[in-house]
Structure 1
């Protein structure tokens, strides 16, 4: 229910941050202005007693987020990769949200596995460990198959997680509606659509059968990728609340010192993380959309191992081409090209000034080039980019939310390994290869073939389509002259379309 009762949930959110001491830490981390600090204190202090106490052994922000529930934890996971936004100390504290949350009892997990798979755990596995990782939605146990002796990972959903997420999401929906009502200018950002998109993503993550399907498809797409590996699912040992897959051996991506001690080239690893993400997004249109430290390892042979495929992103071919052209424009510092692509794709209203938009993009992009990575404030860069989108009336593109969010997370992972990494230089070869493959003669021939195949599928319907339009026009009631002209134009357009399709079929 998305009613006023959610006001209590939102008040309790602020009260929890105030009670745990997280409010001041969070405001300091984002360098909040004095007026925002004052407003937060005035609004938060009277309701401090309503906040959750949380675990006093945890740092303040982590304590507040874990007390508030799984949806808040998801947000904290994103921030844990952005040391350049929230600071190194807070990012390190938040990193525990990725896979080191308090687990639920192993006996409970065994009972759930037995109920889901229809057989006792001891019949399926010769070994079943205590939790080796616990995140917001599920926890993982290391096990060994009784039949083959193979080591596997058994992922089990947290009890009651579905209801907990629904309560949080309802509160987010209510807050988004309030924001749109109180601040009409925010409607351009489509907060309710953003929350709906987040809800659909999380709903998919709560069914582990869908995660198994994503892992299987992702493995097929990436089987030829160099230095990359994916643990495959075991379908006969998986269900809605349980997922069994190959065990992924390696050093966690977040343990930089261990990677160095093991002799891995962390600069190469950092570059490869970015390049793999771009390859999957641009080449396949299907990418891992939760690539934080907790879902990545480096295998002993140097392969990057990705796991946890609960959140996957998907973008169509046209959007991929637009995204690649925008990236390439920034890489070549061709801001006119970037602006033109935005206008052609409909990302910016047609009544805005393209040249002015290009200059605004130059102000965003130029500080990146020629500067040391450590000198770039991503927080300031994102803040200015937000000002640009607001000034030019750009609506939020919900279909790009996962892509943009994952790009931010992946960059954060790469920068945590190599703070001096130049993201644009790492991305350039992947984007260049995609541009050549998708915009050259071969791509045009592929597009023409797809058009011909589509026309071929609809070919048998053309006679009926033309006959129906002609019949409807002949039996239509007389209309005023203006509408009659419109009807005639519609029929003429329909016949022209049908004839064009027919000619296309013949030529195809």
Structure 2
């Protein structure tokens, strides 16, 4: 009861903010427009523009958790539509800075030493302030220029309250709207919570930076600032200071004598390597987080939001993109069924037709206008028709590709960045999708099966010994189910578990 009252009170505040910005219609209910007018007490909205722009302004006013929520929703073109998702992608994660004396106190507590002892110089004016943390430039005692990221005070408690509200709403939606359960809203809230909790522990960001740096070790075209682990803790992260030109400052890059096409090629290749070679990618690589150094190499910052794609999904994704590029829409459809993205009871021919309908308008354009990210976005929008379950890792990847393509267009709108990375893409496809790769996969699978065999035999031996020494022990709940107690599911005969148990016993005796 207390939880419901607390959440309803917070929900009332949120509704009023959404109404003031004329963003309540995102709820998509018939009474939304009338409710907005009532909540505004007849006053006109304070913001105009497209629905996504109004929603972005409202989320900014609601604070850090909802800014992060807006950034997460920007990956859900399947829910909001492309235009609104694109508007939320432009949501600026900027808030007023908190006082420097609070930043100093957090640093001193986290590092167990005064700021003056950790740094020879500390700039009290932050260079950037966002929803989770703010950044100060400093110089270490040994003369290294660093950037010090300090967690915003009280952010963890505020986030816990807001995430409890979001989970409560998701639970009610899944309870009252069965048709929306395929969207797995509770799971999506939990995934969102996990990502932000990790982002609020700056040690995880430091670890992500170190892992990304290892992945590109020996490759100077993409660099990651070094972590100062001695000055890093849960609420403080110290990184090597980056000097460079923001990647979207085209004129400055050209004026520095750096070849724009080379920068674009390095961006395409580094992103491809992150996703397909390593399965670990920077998921927030907007122009503010990517710089070009004086040698024309890329330097990334801000590793709070990272994405992972497992080997199996990478192979499916590679085959799917290859099918789209070759116009083999049947194969694209089959891959979705093989991966389990589309339920087996759906019609593969109809899904093939759907894939063609979204791909032809995009793939038929000139090469420099083709957007792979837009292609994936269109694909996600047909999820409801085919009861496709949400794939969070692919949604994050699609958004990251969209951001990368935006960077590419700013550098040179006449060039397709994926075309520049074609040699790398083709090499990866040969190594991972060719005949030799399939033979290797089969051999590895067989080896893993053989490795599991001794353990399976040992478990069988253990069960056989248990049978000889008095029988197998079953959990009380299992016994109740076998006796037909506890609300047995309709259609499952009560004698069936006994038959299965008898078959198991026979197999063990015959061993």
Do both proteins adopt the same fold according to a TM-score greater than 0.5, normalized to the shorter chain?
yes
Instruction: Indicate which of 208, 233, 239 corresponds to 1:239.
Output: 233
Q: Is the 8 A contact 1:70 1:137 kept in 2?
A: yes
Aligned length: 477
* TM-score with structure 1 setting the length: 0.80
Cα displacement (A) at 1:109: 0.9
Q: Is the 8 A contact 1:85 1:379 kept in 2?
A: no
Q: Which residue of 1 aligns with 2:306?
A: 312
Q: Is the 8 A contact 1:54 1:66 kept in 2?
A: no
Q: Secondary structure at the match of 2:126?
A: strand
Summarize the Cα distance change of 1:450–1:225 in structure 2 as closer, same or farther, 3 Å threshold.
farther
Q: Is the 8 A contact 1:211 1:309 kept in 2?
A: yes
**Which runs of 5 or more residues in structure 2 are unaligned?**
48-52, 473-481, 483-493
Question: Is residue 131 from structure 1 mapped to residue 129 from structure 2 by the alignment?
Answer: no
Cα displacement (A) at 1:173: 1.7
| Alpha-carbon distance in structure 2 between the residues aligned to 1:427 and 1:13 | 45
Question: Is residue 452 from structure 1 mapped to residue 444 from structure 2 by the alignment?
Answer: no
Summarize the Cα distance change of 1:351–1:74 in structure 2 as closer, same or farther, 3 Å threshold.
same
Summarize the Cα distance change of 1:158–1:481 in structure 2 as closer, same or farther, 3 Å threshold.
closer
| Alpha-carbon distance in structure 1 between the residues aligned to 2:502 and 2:320 | 42
Cα displacement (A) at 1:10: 3.5
Question: Is residue 324 from structure 1 mapped to residue 325 from structure 2 by the alignment?
Answer: no
| Alpha-carbon distance in structure 2 between the residues aligned to 1:243 and 1:476 | 58
Question: Structure 1, residues 71-109: CA drift from partner, whole Å, max 9, x if none?
Answer: 222245578999x83699x689x46x24x4321122221
**Which runs of 5 or more residues in structure 1 are unaligned?**
500-508
Equivalent positions of 1:206-217 (< 5 A) are 206-217=200-211
Equivalent positions of 1:165-176 (< 5 A) are 165-176=159-170
Q: Is the 8 A contact 1:473 1:487 kept in 2?
A: no
| Alpha-carbon distance in structure 1 between the residues aligned to 2:162 and 2:304 | 19
Summarize the Cα distance change of 1:118–1:398 in structure 2 as closer, same or farther, 3 Å threshold.
same
* TM-score with structure 2 setting the length: 0.80
Q: Which residue of 2 aligns with 1:149?
A: 143
Summarize the Cα distance change of 1:49–1:126 in structure 2 as closer, same or farther, 3 Å threshold.
farther
| Alpha-carbon distance in structure 2 between the residues aligned to 1:43 and 1:70 | 25
Instruction: Indicate which of 40, 47, 60 corresponds to 1:48.
Output: 40
Summarize the Cα distance change of 1:401–1:369 in structure 2 as closer, same or farther, 3 Å threshold.
closer
Question: Structure 1, residues 226-273: CA drift from partner, whole Å, max 9, x if none?
Answer: 510000111111000001111111112343443344344445434543
Q: Which residue of 2 aligns with 1:502?
A: none
Pairwise CA RMSD:
4.0
Q: Is the 8 A contact 2:22 2:36 kept in 1?
A: no
Summarize the Cα distance change of 1:489–1:294 in structure 2 as closer, same or farther, 3 Å threshold.
farther
Q: Which residue of 1 aligns with 2:386?
A: 392
Summarize the Cα distance change of 1:150–1:377 in structure 2 as closer, same or farther, 3 Å threshold.
closer
| Alpha-carbon distance in structure 1 between the residues aligned to 2:372 and 2:173 | 26
Instruction: Indicate which of 112, 121, 125 corresponds to 2:115.
Output: 121
Summarize the Cα distance change of 1:473–1:402 in structure 2 as closer, same or farther, 3 Å threshold.
farther
Cα displacement (A) at 1:350: 1.0
Cα displacement (A) at 1:394: 0.7
| Alpha-carbon distance in structure 2 between the residues aligned to 1:39 and 1:195 | 26
Question: Is residue 355 from structure 1 mapped to residue 355 from structure 2 by the alignment?
Answer: no
Equivalent positions of 1:72-221 (< 5 A) are 72-77=66-71, 85=83, 94=90, 97-98=92-93, 100-129=94-123, 130-146=125-141, 148-221=142-215
